[in-house]
Amino acid sequence: MKVPLLDLKAQYRTIKSDIDAALIRMAESQSLILGPEVELLEKNLNEYLQCKYSVGVSSGTDALLIALMAIDIKPGDEVILPTYSFFATAGVVSRLNAKPVFAESDPVTFNIDPASIRKLITKNTKAIVPVHLYGQSAEMDEIMKIADEYNIKVIEDAAQAIGTQYKDGRRLGNIGHIGCFSFYPSKNLGCFGDGGLVTTNDEELAARLRILRVHGGKPKYYHKIIGGNFRLDAIQAAVLNVKLPHLDAWTKARQTNASLYTKFFIDHELAEETGRLEYDENNKVLLPKAVYADKQFSHDHIYNQYVIRVKGRDDLRKHLTENEIGTEIYYPVPFHLQECFAFLGYKKGDFPVSEWCANDSIAVPIYPELSEEQIKFTVQTIAEYLKK
C-alpha cells in the first residue's frame, strides 16, 4: 500500500468541476491581479477568521515581510522568534537588516516558550513573532502580556493555522497586531501556486499594508513609502474562493485522522497517551497533544502536520520510505544552528528542547483524504520496526 505524505490530486478530484469552472471564468475575464476576485476572497476570509481586515498577498513569506515593514522594523531592531520553525520566520527579519533573536520551544506544543521570551527583551526589541506550529496556537495570553508591558508589536505566523482557535475561542491572526497566513499548496487551505494573507483589526495598519502591497504607491505612482510587489493573483483567489467552503470539513477529516493515529499507536502499545515527553518501553512513540481539546472548540488543533517523536528517527524514516510511506522532517536544523546565522554566535546546546525536537520529530501523512487503512498500515509499519 502506498501512503503519500500529501495527495493534492485526491483533493482536486473532489471539487474538480467547481475548480475547472473558476479557472475558465478567470481565463475569460483576463482580470489577473488583485481586483474583484481578491476582494471577494478578503471579504470571505474576514468572515471565516472573524477579523476586520484581510489583505491578500503573494506568499506566506511575503505576508511576514510586509507585516514587519508595516510596523516599521528597521536595521538594528531586534525581533524575537522561535528557533524551531520554517525558515521564512527568521529569513524575513534578516532581509530587513534587523536582528533575529531566537527563543526556546515548549516541549509539548513545539511552540515558542513565553518564559524564554521574557529573558530576551532589550531596549532594541521591536516585535515578537510567535509561530502556531503544525496547526496549534502558541501561548498568546502570556505573549501579549509581555508585549503590552514593553510596548512591543506581535506578528503571528499563522501559516500552518488557518481557522485555529486559541483557548478563549478566538481565531488566530486576531490576537496579535498582525496575522500572517500562507496558501502554499501543502497548507490546509492551499492555492494553485504561491499566495498568502495578512490580517489585522487595526484600520491604520490595514491601510498601510494595502499601500505597501503595491510598492507603497498611493495614489498610484506617488510614493510616500517604499513597499514591494506583494500582490495576489486573481486566479489564486478564485481557487481559494472555491476551496474555502470545504475547509471545515477538511479540518475535521484531519482531526479524525489524528484520533485514529492516537488510537492505533495505543493499540500497538507504542504509546499510552498523547503529550508524553519521556520514552520508555510502553512509550516508544511520543504523540502530539491538542492542549485545548478540553475546551470543546471545533478548531483547537487543525493538524497541518501530525508530528511524532521517536528515538532513531532517521532510521525509522528510511524504513518508512522503503515501505512507500511518505514522511517529512519539520525541521531538522533550528535557526540558531543554521550556517547563515553563524554570525549571531549561537552554539549547539543553547536550546535543548528545540534541538531535541529537531532530532526526534517526524511528520507522518495526515491529509484529509487519507483512508483509515492507510493510517493503520502506517502505524503497523512503524510498530514492526520499533518492536524488532
Residues near ligand PLP (CB under 6 A) are 59-61, 85-86, 88-89, 131, 157, 159-160, 182, 184, 194, 196
- Within a 13 Å sphere around the CA of 58, how many CA atoms are in the beta-carbon half? 12
Residue 312 Cβ vs ligand PLP, minimum distance, rounded to whole Å? 26
User: Nearer to ligand PLP by C-beta: 84 or 351?
Assistant: 84
* 294 secondary structure, DSSP code: G
Residue 89 Cβ vs ligand PLP, minimum distance, rounded to whole Å? 5
Is the distance from CB of 386 to CB of 284 less than 8 angstroms?
yes
Distance CA 196, CA 160 (A): 11
Question: What nine digits make up the cell of 43?
Answer: 471579504
- Residue 253: closest CA among 376, 369, 379, 137: 369
Residue 133 Cβ vs ligand PLP, minimum distance, rounded to whole Å? 7
Residue 160 Cβ vs ligand PLP, minimum distance, rounded to whole Å? 5
Q: What are phi and psi of 247, to 5 degrees?
A: -60, -40
User: Nearer to ligand PLP by C-beta: 251 or 374?
Assistant: 251
Residue 63 Cβ vs ligand PLP, minimum distance, rounded to whole Å? 7
User: Nearer to ligand PLP by C-beta: 230 or 377?
Assistant: 230
Is the distance from CB of 247 to CB of 188 less than 8 angstroms?
yes
Is the distance from CB of 176 to CB of 155 less than 8 angstroms?
yes
User: Nearer to ligand PLP by C-beta: 60 or 268?
Assistant: 60
Q: Map residue 266 onto helix, strand or coil.
A: helix
Q: Map residue 325 onto helix, strand or coil.
A: strand
Is the distance from CB of 364 to CB of 6 less than 8 angstroms?
no
Residue 55 Cβ vs ligand PLP, minimum distance, rounded to whole Å? 15
Distance CA 74, CA 98 (A): 6
Question: What nine digits make up the cell of 68?
Answer: 514587519
User: Nearer to ligand PLP by C-beta: 42 or 194?
Assistant: 194
User: Nearer to ligand PLP by C-beta: 59 or 109?
Assistant: 59
Burial class (CB in 10 A: 0-12, 13-18, 19+), 24: exposed
Output the residue with the shortest Cβ distance to ligand PLP.
60
Residue 88 Cβ vs ligand PLP, minimum distance, rounded to whole Å? 4
Residue 134 Cβ vs ligand PLP, minimum distance, rounded to whole Å? 9
Residue 92 Cβ vs ligand PLP, minimum distance, rounded to whole Å? 9
User: Nearer to ligand PLP by C-beta: 90 or 383?
Assistant: 90
Helix then strand count (H, E) for the chain reads 12, 10
Residues ≥6 apart with Cβ < 8 Å to 272? 266, 282, 283
- Cα 189-192-198 angle, rounded to 5 deg: 50
For residue 375, give the amino acid letter. Answer: I
User: Nearer to ligand PLP by C-beta: 91 or 312?
Assistant: 91
Distance CA 172, CA 116 (A): 21
- Within a 13 Å sphere around the CA of 67, how many CA atoms are in the beta-carbon half? 39
User: Nearer to ligand PLP by C-beta: 86 or 102?
Assistant: 86
Residue 315 Cβ vs ligand PLP, minimum distance, rounded to whole Å? 26
Question: What nine digits make up the cell of 160?
Answer: 500552518
User: Nearer to ligand PLP by C-beta: 22 or 162?
Assistant: 162
